[in-house]
Structure 1
Amino acid sequence: MVSESRERKVQRAFISLLKIGLWNSVIDTFDIFILSSSEWLVLYQVAIAQTVEGLVFDAITKLPGQYQPPKMLALKWAVRIDAIERENLKKEKIIAEIAGLLKAHHIDVTLLKGSSLAVHYAKPLLRLSGDVDFYFENSDAFKKANQLIKQKGIKIKYGALNSTYYSWKGCEIEHHSKLIDIVNPFQKRYLKKMERQEADRKTPVILDGMKINSPSVLMTHIQVNAHILKHFLGFGIGLRQFCDVARLYFNTSQSLDCDQLKFAYKKLGIYNWMELTHSFLVHQLGLNPEFLPYQIQQCEDNQWLMNDVLNAGNFGFYSGQFSSAPQTHQERKHTMTWGLFPRFLKAQRYAHSEALWFPFSRIWSTLLRRRKI
């Protein structure tokens, strides 16, 4: 294992670089970037695990030469960033292509997360994107979209929460019939009502010349934060998702109905979780409090959340990233599964109803998927 003092040293440098890349801020001290070759390698691996290597690399380019990583690692990093930018451009074309196909068949589609959030970054192409997520407002549009893809000779598989997924030119695409990842079934009617009220306020995004709708600003705020909570309740969440929220807030919070948003969080039973999230964004990621949609009422202890995020990596796929000993698949599965319990107990305090219903939603989702397969 990496020694504790060395781990803290790498973490401090990593978080500092992340903040610089996230906010394009001025570097006021360079001492923390005096790292050995092996420490730079660990930092590189952590950035990849958290899927924020683009932001961190952008910050590194602002360091004087003597504080930058070894040339071979810097070159390897630069090649990776070039690949990320190319992949993002490819995905934009794919999104535009599929959205155009759906529109040609009069199927309304909404783009979630991914490229619709990347636009809030100073350099959108540096954000590592995952799957492409499309949302369909009703079951008829959802079924028609799936059938249209099948007619193209593409195999569709069933995923969690009544979603489907497939590969389009090497890019994984997901179709969703649910906009907000709130698992409490008693909130379904309220969520649909709110969705209808916000239907005329969707935000257009231009990708590869194609105008595609993303949810309204209000619904986007709720959607991305509920999505983070869902993954936290599962195998964990990475820093990129919190960076997405920070940049979203920076660009849109001033245009929100803050009272309406606060009411929605209280109604959905996740207000305390949002207090923790807002405290985390300010104290861990450097978001200026004036860009919060509303001011924090209670400053929550958030260091434990940072520790959990750093340990879990992106959706829990990189747990134990500071360990030098590789784990087998079974060891990783065992570690991740047992890691759920302390996280679940923590969540009881911040989002009691979601923590309560989460296990049942997973079981129900698995049963539905098996029936459809």
Structure 2
Amino acid sequence: MTKLSSNTRLDDDFFKLLRLSLGLTQELPAKMDAHGWRLLYQMALRQSLVGVCYKGICLLPEDCKPPVEIAMQWACEAESIKGMNELLYQETARLTREFEEQGHRTAILKGQANARLYPDKYARQPGDIDIWVEGGKDCVLALLPHHSKAIYHHVHLPVNKQGVTVEVHFRPSSGNFNPMTNRRLQRWLEREILLAAQVEENFRVPSVKFALVMQLAHIQRHFLSEGIGLRHVCDYYWLLQHSTVEDRRIVSSVLRKFGLYHIAMALMWVLGEVFQLDKSLMLTAPDSYRGNWLLREMMTDGNFGWYAQRQRFGLLRRVYENKRRHLRLMKFDFWEAFWLEVKYWSNIVWTLPTRIRYRKLSLRDFQR
């Protein structure tokens, strides 16, 4: 196995625990003291993999397990994740039923659609519910409360009484920054999502080949704009495990056309190094240069880049650090990084009157 350029012993132990948790290996992490286990727990938190990794904790021999107080904290968090998953499965089925009773086909994107592919479908740490609803933007907006605000691909609803956040999609994906590849990607996804099938959890999910393309675009977009974590790579591992040879052949054939080839090569390398994915399941040859880059940012910045050092700076310094990062990312994928910058500066101009009116400098609340 290639040596990870950013790897530490703690990273290595975390990867071993993750593989043990998913049933991919019997190899155990090294014995460690309470401090080491606290760091490992913090790493699982940063990657939104606490519930998944807890399965491995339960499999450890007694002399390798964490101290009781850390094990209890981990167990409580895992039980909370299980309860949240149970709630989200119920809410997802309810939303599906309500929209389809009004005559609109639906599909669940990511989230619970991915969770059901795991060995334990209650272990994946959930976020919000992403549901695609047929009919296009105007039709979907007519189904929702009048104050709902749409951005490019979805409507973000307020947190409901159960504490669940829902994003109602009228486009299957946020897509690429590059408008040329994005047009081709969106057309393909809009055709494929119509093939969504009912599953035993009482909602519809798209085909595996749809999910492989859509979630690769999702990973690319978040990696370039803010950051991405290992939870998304874990999701992708299980998508590939549930794919057929024909699924992978079709997806591999469209990667260049959809502007996803570079991120696919990087992701295949991470999947090979961290999850020991068999090469027969890979969509492309792995790229160690981009893969190391992707994994290094995942491990330092955490899920969605929430733990990145640049997030702790003030507004002006944060903008400066983000611009520096975007320039470096041109070595990763020139055209995606270029169009990311174009989108940023066009938003500056487009939202300027509104931001002046509300006396806000940040673009965070003014997406298009």
TM-score by length of 1: 0.83
Q: 1:356 aligns with which of 338, 351, 355?
A: 338
The answer to whether 1:241 aligns with 2:232 is: yes
Deviations 1:30-51 (A, max 9, x none): 4x43111112111111101100
The answer to whether 1:164 aligns with 2:156 is: yes
The alpha-carbon deviation at position 54 of structure 1 amounts to: 1.4
Q: Secondary structure at the match of 1:110?
A: strand
The alpha-carbon deviation at position 282 of structure 1 amounts to: 0.7
Contact 1:165 1:175 in 2 (8 A): yes
Count of aligned pairs: 347
The answer to whether 1:265 aligns with 2:255 is: yes
Distance 1:188 1:299, change over 3 A: closer
Q: Secondary structure at the match of 1:245?
A: helix
Q: Secondary structure at the match of 1:278?
A: helix
Q: Which residue of 1 aligns with 2:363?
A: none
Distance 1:261 1:276, change over 3 A: same
Q: Which residue of 2 aligns with 1:201?
A: 195
The answer to whether 1:278 aligns with 2:272 is: no
Q: Which residue of 2 aligns with 1:347?
A: 329
Q: Distance in 2 between matches of 1:263 and 1:347?
A: 25
Deviations 1:24-74 (A, max 9, x none): 03423x4x4311111211111110110011121111111111111110110
Distance 1:97 1:242, change over 3 A: same
* Superposition map of 1:310-349 within 5 A: 310-319=299-308, 331=313, 337=319, 339-341=321-323, 343-349=325-331
Contact 1:162 1:177 in 2 (8 A): yes
Q: Which residue of 1 aligns with 2:358?
A: none
Q: Secondary structure at the match of 1:225?
A: helix
Q: Which residue of 1 aligns with 2:12?
A: 12
Q: 2:144 aligns with which of 149, 152, 160?
A: 149
Q: Distance in 2 between matches of 1:192 and 1:302?
A: 26
Q: Distance in 1 between matches of 2:34 and 2:367?
A: 51
Contact 1:160 1:365 in 2 (8 A): no
Residue segments in structure 2 that go unaligned for 5+ positions in a row:
1-6, 355-365
The answer to whether 1:118 aligns with 2:115 is: yes
Residue segments in structure 1 that go unaligned for 5+ positions in a row:
1-6, 321-326
The answer to whether 1:289 aligns with 2:279 is: yes
Q: Secondary structure at the match of 2:171?
A: coil
The answer to whether 1:303 aligns with 2:298 is: no
Deviations 1:142-200 (A, max 9, x none): 4444443317xxx6344565543322221010122332322222234423442354355
Q: Which residue of 2 aligns with 1:215?
A: 206
Q: Which residue of 2 aligns with 1:182?
A: 176
Identity fraction in percent: 22
Q: Which moves more between the two structures, 329-338 or 103-112?
A: 329-338
Q: Give the root-mean-square deviation of aligned CA atoms.
A: 2.9
Q: Which residue of 2 aligns with 1:230?
A: 221
Q: Which moves more between the two structures, 340-349 or 119-128?
A: 340-349
Q: Distance in 1 between matches of 2:186 and 2:313?
A: 41
Distance 1:178 1:213, change over 3 A: same
Q: Distance in 2 between matches of 1:236 and 1:257?
A: 26
Q: Distance in 1 between matches of 2:315 and 2:125?
A: 25
Q: Secondary structure at the match of 1:198?
A: helix
Q: Distance in 1 between matches of 2:135 and 2:240?
A: 29
Q: Distance in 1 between matches of 2:16 and 2:135?
A: 44
Q: Distance in 2 between matches of 1:170 and 1:157?
A: 19
Higher relative contact order (CA 8 A, sep 6+): 1
Q: Secondary structure at the match of 1:135?
A: strand
Q: Distance in 2 between matches of 1:178 and 1:368?
A: 23
Q: Distance in 1 between matches of 2:317 and 2:54?
A: 30
TM-score by length of 2: 0.84
